[in-house]
Structure formats: C-alpha cells, structure tokens
Amino acid sequence: MKKRRITIKDVAKEAGLSTSAVSQILNGNTQRFSEQAIQKVHAAQERLNYVPDFFAQRMVTKKSHLIGVLVPDISNPFFAQLFLGIQDVLHAQGYVALLYNMEDDEQRESSSVADLIRRGVDGLIIASSAFSNQSIYAALQREKLPMLVMDQKNETDLVDAVQTDNFDGGRQVGLHLKKFGHRKVAVVLPENPTVNVRKRYEGLASIYGDDILRVTGALSVTGGQQAVKKIINSDVTAIFAINDLIAFGLYMGLKEAEKEIPADYSVVGYDDIDACKYVTPALTTIAQPTFELGQEAATMLLKRLSEPGREPEVKMLPVKLVQRFSVAPLK
C-alpha cells in the first residue's frame, strides 16, 4: 500500500497552529511569530519528515527560489571559483543556482536566457557577455527580471553590478613591468574585448601609451600559444596576458620556440587561479577576490529581490599584483 504523502496540514496539526501560520514560517516570513511558534513548526516538520512541495509554494509565494547564473567558460577555474562563491550565499538562503555555460556563443546565450525565463527564475547573475547583447537585455527588461551583471556594466546600464577594478589591475601590471625596465610590451586579448578586458588594457595603456603591441588571442591556452609567433617577431620584452589561461599558453608557445621565461620574456597574467603557483616559473599575476566576488554578487541580487524599488547599486572590489618569478629586469 502506497504511503500517504505528508502535507502542510499535517505539520500544522502537529504544531498546533493554523496552516497559514505554518506556511508563512516555512517560507521565511517569521516576523509576526514568536520564537516558540517558529520552533514548534520546525520541530513538527522534522518529526514528520515533511518536504515542502516547491511547485505548491511557488503558487502561493510567486517565487521559484531559483537563480540563473550565466558564465562564459566553466572550464576556466576562475568561473568555477566564482560560482562556488555565488552558491555559498544562495544555498544558505534557500535558493538554488542554475548554472549555464555560454562558451562565447551568442545564440546559446539568447536561448539560455529564454530557457531561464520559462523556468521562472527569480533573478539572474550575468558573468558572460550576454548583457552586451541588446536583444537579450530587452527581453530581460520586458520580463522585469531582477539581474546583476559582473564586469560587463557600462556607465549607462541601470542595473546592479559588482566588479573588480580592472583598470587598476592593468595599471598595476604596467607599473610593475616599467619598474623592471621594460620599455615595450605586448598584450594578448580578444579582437572584440568585453568591458572588463578592455579596462585592463586601458590600465596598461595609461602607463605605456603607444608602446604596446596588441596581439589578438582567445581567452584560452590556445589563444596564448598562437600569439607567440607574432610576439617573437617583434621587439617587445614583456607580455601582459589578459587572463591566466592565455599566460599558460604563452608558456607553452615560448618553450616550443626555445625561449625562456623570464630570461627572454617577462610574463604577467590576470586572475591568480591556483595553477599560477605550480607552473615553472611561478606566474606573476593580478589576483582577483574571486570567491568573495561571487558571494557579493549573490548577496546584492538577494537584496534586490527583497527591495525591488531601490536605486541601482555598483560595488567595486580591489585587485592586487602577486609577485612571483615570471618577471625579470631588462638586461
């Protein structure tokens, strides 16, 4: 014989309270209730092993407790760590993060956003370039879906954002290389950089001006490896990899070209993913507070959900240069 499913009415009877009171307490609306009543409900829930029906809850609260998270490349350890920070906060508040990997594919971004809207997510955290796609932005505005962007915000965007100081990161790279006597540097970055990548470049240019060789490369190990040929046929002595994966590709490509780091070329990365400590030589790079960045993003989005009418907010987190052994003085 099939066992009867425990319902919220059973919990209410066990706790000696009304079904409405139990529903509100289980949904986190506890302001009107005494601590004794709250404890009674949770004790009854535990004794009966009651699992809330999320579909039923959604009908009542109009909330799914689902948050969509869009990232460009989950194989990049930076985004994996970022997602862990987001999940850390959301899980503690009873939300579930739905992770979508974009792979720098505009069509996939568009279909993923549409899918998240169909699933009834309460909000979006956008760490991919999706926000720069005007058709996607328009769809999100039509749905009045709360969203937070990370590092892709332009000055005119009326949405919440959490960012790191990309301009200062690029500037710190420039000052570091200049201190070691390097007069001309190369920078490896995509042909059409996103807002955050462009600001890193602008930070470097604030120190080096026109003495920069701009080399096109994807944000990947392959992108760095393929950039080497153009670099070694130039007169640069130092290279700024716009992320750490590009830097690892430079390591491979320079080794294949029988060039040494830092004897022949100094290299600086960006992100400070764990592997930076383990390559040889250990990579000098710009460290971002990645886990904290994810936590802050989730916290800000939840704040937006509870206070939908407040003004858009932007938070900027600092970055710092981590000096290791991939930069040497120019001989």
- Residue 27 identity (one-letter amino acid): N
Grade residue 244 by pLDDT with cuts at 50, 70 and 90: very high
Say what percent of the chain tops pLDDT 90: 60
* Architecture of the domain whose range is 8-61: Orthogonal Bundle (1.10)
How confident is the model over 130-143, as pLDDT tens digits?
Answer: 666 666 667 777 77
User: Cα dist. 24→31, 41, 42, 89 in Å?
Assistant: 10, 10, 12, 22
Contact 270, 286 (CB under 8 A): yes
Does 119 or 229 have the greater pLDDT score?
229
Percent of the chain clearing pLDDT 70 (strictly above): 90
Confidence of residue 56 (pLDDT cuts 50, 70, 90): low
pTM, full prediction: 0.81
Q: What's the topology of domain 166-288?
A: Rossmann fold (3.40.50)
| Architecture of the domain delimited by 66-164+290-317 | 3-Layer(aba) Sandwich (3.40)
Q: Give CA–CA dist 51/46, Å, rounded.
A: 9
Across the range 297-315, mean pLDDT stands at: 91
C-alpha to C-alpha distance for 41 and 43, rounded to whole angstroms: 5
Domain with CATH 3.40.50.2300 in the chain: 66-164+290-317, 166-288
Which residues belong to CATH 1.10.260.40 in the chain? 8-61
* pLDDT value, residue 116: 85
CA dist., res. 306 & res. 32, Å (int): 17
Q: What is the pLDDT of residue 230?
A: 97
Give me the pLDDT at residue 114, please.
Answer: 84
